[in-house]
Copies of this chain bind each other. A is one copy, B any other.
Amino acid sequence: MTRKRVAVAGASGYAGGELLRLLLGHPDVEIGALTGASNAGQPLGALQPHLVPLADRVLEETSIETLSGHDVVFLALPHGQSGAVAAQLGDDTVVIDCGADFRLADSAAWEKFYGGQHAGTWPYGLPELPGQREVLRGATRVAVPGCYPTISSLSLAPAVAAGIVEPDVTVVAASGTSGAGKAAKPHLLGSEIMGNASAYGVGGVHRHTPEITQNLSKLTDGTVSVSFTPLLVPMSRGILATCSAKLTGGVTAEEVYDVYAKAYADEPFIHLLPQGQWPQTKSVTGSNAVHLQVTVDEDARRMIAVGAVDNLSKGTAGAAVQCMNLALGLDEGLGLTTVGIAP
């Protein structure tokens, strides 16, 4: 078949770099325009030195002229900028947005958490949620989920859908720093980050909270209450989400495990570990896999689910490629792997 021609807007950032890393290994695509903002005019080798085959490619301005004429356009832009770009790209172009602009259905929630006007709602790029894969096949617009919502939703969905837990969940998610992006801020300096764990966005104010709520609430009749606390821990990549909720009945650890095993039996990228083995982020570094484990705290009567994901891969760029594959009618796993890099 003819290779699909893809463009990446925002190629100098972490999401853009990971997209290009994956696309370089994808058999059915050819990498077209690469664009940047302040970095336009620079060679990619100076910005993403790990992408050797693209070292001499020069970043162009993010504009309709640059981005048109591609089969697929990936947008890895700051929140709020995707709408204007996407509006100029026709429906014959698959547009996959790694930003937050089109993730939420509730405009009020979008405006409360992001500010500005809500651009709209696109098919949500988490094919492992019930019914979602079908929505994504052949789609021409896809909103890639946030990294925290990806792992939080996948860690809790089977239990919430099965009604074995109360619709009132807590998530504490320890994240590497790449999720905070490549813009230089003092609190993200290596000197500050190494040897340091901290909490931020505490009390339900993190922007990913309404997205987790949206995903889990779709699985029940009502609204699922979500208490979400993100932590920053000293690693570049990876999220480890510790999720829990009160059990609704006398369900055992084995029964909970079975619920998860059945829910994800056919999912190529979800790996429920053998009972007793707990996820670690390093196992999924660079891969599109999600590692999960669940158990029951008998005394506290809570289910505890722990999930690990690479925030840049399955948490962003891997999901984007997976969605592109679905949108284009390709094998869903093309260019993706379940094999991580460790140690």
Chain B residues near A291 (CB, 8 Å)? Answer: 49
Q: What's the Cα separation between A295 and B339 when bound, in Å?
A: 38
Counted per complex, copies of this chain come to: 4
Interface check A238, CB cutoff 8 A = yes
Contact B229 A242 (CB under 8 A): yes
Partner of A282, one of B50, B200, B226: B50
A256 to chain B, nearest CB (A): 10
Contact B299 A174 (CB under 8 A): no
Supposing A231-B174, A342-B48, A343-B236 touch, asked if A195 and B282 sit within 8 A by C-beta, the answer is yes
Partner of A197, one of B180, B240, B253, B287: B240
A interface, size bucket: 35 or more
Supposing A277-B49, A280-B49, A304-B202 touch, asked if A339 and B194 sit within 8 A by C-beta, the answer is no
Partner of A196, one of B280, B295, B300: B280
Interface check A184, CB cutoff 8 A = yes
Contact A52 B271 (CB under 8 A): yes
Contact A295 B341 (CB under 8 A): no
Contact A194 B191 (CB under 8 A): no
A102 to chain B, nearest CB (A): 23
Chain B residues near A191 (CB, 8 Å)? Answer: 14, 176-178, 180, 182, 188, 236, 343
Supposing A198-B281, A234-B190, A235-B197 touch, asked if A227 and B52 sit within 8 A by C-beta, the answer is no
Chain B residues near A185 (CB, 8 Å)? Answer: 184
A233 to chain B, nearest CB (A): 4
Which of A49, A53, A231, A343 has most B Cβ within 10 Å?
A343
Q: What's the Cα separation between A204 and B298 when bound, in Å?
A: 7
Chain B residues near A141 (CB, 8 Å)? Answer: none
Interface check A150, CB cutoff 8 A = no
Partner of A278, one of B14, B17, B198, B341: B198
Chain B residues near A52 (CB, 8 Å)? Answer: 271, 287, 289, 338-340
Contact B341 A21 (CB under 8 A): yes
Interface check A283, CB cutoff 8 A = yes
Interface check A286, CB cutoff 8 A = yes
Q: What's the Cα separation between A29 and B177 when bound, in Å?
A: 37
Partner of A286, one of B192, B286, B293: B286
Supposing A236-B343, A300-B226, A343-B236 touch, asked if A184 and B188 sit within 8 A by C-beta, the answer is yes
Contact A341 B286 (CB under 8 A): yes
Interface check A87, CB cutoff 8 A = no
Interface check A189, CB cutoff 8 A = yes
Interface check A285, CB cutoff 8 A = yes
A192-216, CB < 8 A from B: 192-200, 202-204, 209
